[in-house]
């Protein structure tokens, strides 16, 4: 048997080294120069897959143009917001998620009414992380489980009176360079503090199940949701605006909410008013409301119908990064004619077919964005306090942090598995989790502000 020429051996060795280097770098989640191509390919596969019917789990109650006309004011007065919450609560939702930042005090009567409304229901409020730069490259090679969790300069939390009446989570999302949301971080850190995401809070509140963070998975009760590096959950959009059932909040004010859309559902209240700015481009819609992005992530957590993007899939990418170039170079060296080119085309076509099929079955085998941006939810209170004029302002993590002494958390440096106790948000070496079956909703929510005994 004839030995291959030296040039062919050199080409194969260089190809293997290139693929291996690319794959190993991808395992560490940092290849910024391919972000644009990745975003384009992901959008293409979403478009090919087409619109999907979401599970009947979440209903959006939108603060839209009709609501602002009925209320004769925007942003809505807090007394009006309290009426909307009361109307929804009367119909028995599993949980009520308020995708609005309540960081500044309003008039006393309105704040008091809203506080009482929150105490009467199983509510989750939105907080946000402030990140000082527009991009971050993840280069931390530490083996600490939380080393790659997004690190905020500080958290913007609801007013104390509202936080005492309901639990809350961080509502930031991660976008690619085009501004399309790709991931929702499940955990955030600021110094020694660890906070769960808004979506994780809502899913735990709605199911009444223990929420745990173990290895590269999020466990809610008995089922697991796979996450990517840094506990990022990939997003897979169902379709354009309105694909997830959306009802105008004006129906709540007029007493015409459809009971079948509220009872035993998760209800997410958020702004979709024209000019509100809380919109994102997606493969299906150039202006998808931020509240629908949040609702998509909540649905993924409960229905387990999102993309699988974890370490196992990254290793699969590594094998393809090494194997595909070797096969192509080998075929070209073996048949340097039309037959060789046809065989290469067939191999590439087969790879594309496998890739698209895997994507349609929930496996994301193209690397995600490497230069993440974090986005902040719109709130008039935030604009007054911080001068923000965009909906979910693109920001990104930094290692600098500010930690409130009253909410300080101890973090062990290394442990194989961690659990997040959602009421106290304390991370411990031994397993710790939330059981909502033994406490009332109000007491469970109030305990969100109380440190545990060892903190």
Confirm whether 365 is domain-assigned: no
Q: Could you tell me if 180 and 144 lie in one domain? A: yes
Cα–Cα distance measured from residue 388 to residue 177, given in angstroms and rounded to the nearest whole number = 20
Confirm whether 35 is domain-assigned: no
Selected residue with higher pLDDT from 163 and 396: 163
Q: Could you tell me if 317 and 208 lie in one domain? A: no
Q: Could you tell me if 217 and 160 lie in one domain? A: yes
Euclidean distance between the first and final Cα of the chain, in Å?
71
Confirm whether 70 is domain-assigned: yes
> Where a domain ends, among 360, 392, 426?
360
Confirm whether 46 is domain-assigned: no
Q: Could you tell me if 415 and 332 lie in one domain? A: no
What integer pLDDT is reported at residue 255 of this predicted model?
A: 93
Q: What value does the mean pLDDT take over residues 201-210?
A: 92
pLDDT bracket for residue 452 (50, 70, 90): very low
> Where a domain ends, among 360, 387, 420?
360
Tell me the per-residue pLDDT of 26-36, one tens digit each, with 9 for 90 and over.
666 656 666 66
Lowest mean pLDDT among 121-130, 299-308, 446-455: 446-455
Q: Could you tell me if 183 and 332 lie in one domain? A: no
Q: Could you tell me if 91 and 180 lie in one domain? A: yes
Confirm whether 298 is domain-assigned: yes
Cα–Cα distance measured from residue 337 to residue 342, given in angstroms and rounded to the nearest whole number = 9
What integer pLDDT is reported at residue 378 of this predicted model?
A: 39
Cα–Cα distance measured from residue 398 to residue 411, given in angstroms and rounded to the nearest whole number = 18
- Give the number of domains in the chain: 2
Cα–Cα distance measured from residue 270 to residue 145, given in angstroms and rounded to the nearest whole number = 33
- The C-alpha angle with vertex 111 and arms to 105 and 113, in degrees rounded to 5, equals 175
Q: Could you tell me if 303 and 315 lie in one domain? A: no
Tell me the per-residue pLDDT of 373-403, one tens digit each, with 9 for 90 and over.
434 443 333 322 222 222 333 333 332 222 2
Confirm whether 254 is domain-assigned: yes
pTM for the model stands at: 0.73
Entry field: residues in the chain:
455
Q: Could you tell me if 338 and 403 lie in one domain? A: no
| pLDDT exceeds cutoff 60 at 22 | yes
Confirm whether 41 is domain-assigned: no
Q: Could you tell me if 383 and 259 lie in one domain? A: yes
Which CA distances in Å does 225 have to 119, 126, 219, 237, 299? 30, 22, 6, 17, 11
pLDDT bracket for residue 246 (50, 70, 90): very high
Confirm whether 42 is domain-assigned: no
Q: Could you tell me if 80 and 131 lie in one domain? A: yes
Q: What value does the mean pLDDT take over residues 42-61?
A: 87
134 contacts 396 by C-beta, under 8 angstroms? yes
> Where a domain ends, among 297, 325, 360?
360
Q: What value does the mean pLDDT take over residues 426-452?
A: 30
Query: What is the phi/psi pair of residue 125, to 5°?
Result: -100, 165
Which CA distances in Å does 144 have to 193, 225, 357? 15, 21, 35
For residue 345, the tally of other CB atoms under 10 A from its CB is 12
Share of the chain above pLDDT 90, in %: 38
- For the chain, the average pLDDT equals 75
Q: Could you tell me if 282 and 396 lie in one domain? A: yes
- The C-alpha angle with vertex 126 and arms to 401 and 174, in degrees rounded to 5, equals 65
Cα–Cα distance measured from residue 442 to residue 122, given in angstroms and rounded to the nearest whole number = 7
Q: Could you tell me if 21 and 125 lie in one domain? A: no
Q: What value does the mean pLDDT take over residues 93-115?
A: 95
Share of the chain above pLDDT 70, in %: 70
146 contacts 185 by C-beta, under 8 angstroms? no
Q: The domain containing residue 173 runs over which residues?
A: 58-308+370-449
- Residue 222, C-beta contacts closer than 8 angstroms, at least 6 positions apart: 209
What integer pLDDT is reported at residue 214 of this predicted model?
A: 79
Question: Which spans in 243-368 are helix H?
Answer: 250-254, 259-262, 290-303, 311-334, 338-360
């Amino acid at each position: 048997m004839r030995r291959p020429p030296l040039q062919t051996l050199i080409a194969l060795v260089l190809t293997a080294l290139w693929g291996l280097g690319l794959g190993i770098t991808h395992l560490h989640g940092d290849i910024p120069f391919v972000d644009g191509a990745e975003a384009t390919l992901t959008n293409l596969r979403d478009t090919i897959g087409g619109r999907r019917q979401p599970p009947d789990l979440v209903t959006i109650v939108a603060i839209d143009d009709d609501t602002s006309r009925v209320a004769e004011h925007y942003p809505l007065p807090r007394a009006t917001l309290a009426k909307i919450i009361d109307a929804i609560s009367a119909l028995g939702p599993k949980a009520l998620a308020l995708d609005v930042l309540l960081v500044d005090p309003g008039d006393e009567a309105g704040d008091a009414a809203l506080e009482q409304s929150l105490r009467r229901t199983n509510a989750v409020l939105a907080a946000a992380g402030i990140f000082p730069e527009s991009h971050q490259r993840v280069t931390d090679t530490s083996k600490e489980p939380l080393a790659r969790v997004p690190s905020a300069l500080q958290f913007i939390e609801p007013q104390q009176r509202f936080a005492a009446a309901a639990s809350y989570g961080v509502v930031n999302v991660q976008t690619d360079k085009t501004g399309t949301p790709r991931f929702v971080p499940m955990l955030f850190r600021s110094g020694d503090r660890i906070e769960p995401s808004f979506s994780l809070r809502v899913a735990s509140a709605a199911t009444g199940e223990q929420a745990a963070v173990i290895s590269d998975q999020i466990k809610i009760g008995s089922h697991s949701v796979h996450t990517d590096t840094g506990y990022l959950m990939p997003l897979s959009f169902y379709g354009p605006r309105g694909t997830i059932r959306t009802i105008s909040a004006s129906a709540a004010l007029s007493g015409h909410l459809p009971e079948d859309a509220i009872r035993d559902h998760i209800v997410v209240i958020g702004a979709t008013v024209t000019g509100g700015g809380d919109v994102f481009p997606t493969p299906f819609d150039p202006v998808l409301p931020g509240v629908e992005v949040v609702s998509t992530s909540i649905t993924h957590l409960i229905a387990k119908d999102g993309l699988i993007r974890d370490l196992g899939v990254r290793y699969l990418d590594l094998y393809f990064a090494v194997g595909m170039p070797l096969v192509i170079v080998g075929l070209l060296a073996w048949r340097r004619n039309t037959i060789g080119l046809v065989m290469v085309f067939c191999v590439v076509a087969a790879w594309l077919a496998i890739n698209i099929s895997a994507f349609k079955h929930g496996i994301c085998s193209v690397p995600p964005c490497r230069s993440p941006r974090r986005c902040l939810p719109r709130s008039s209170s935030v604009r007054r306090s911080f001068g923000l004029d965009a909906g979910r302002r693109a920001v990104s993590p930094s290692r600098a942090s500010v930690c409130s002494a009253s909410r300080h958390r101890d973090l062990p440096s290394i442990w194989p598995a961690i659990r997040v106790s959602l009421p106290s948000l304390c991370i411990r070496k031994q397993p710790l989790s939330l059981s909502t079956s033994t406490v009332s909703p109000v007491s469970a929510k109030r305990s969100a502000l109380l440190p545990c005994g060892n903190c």
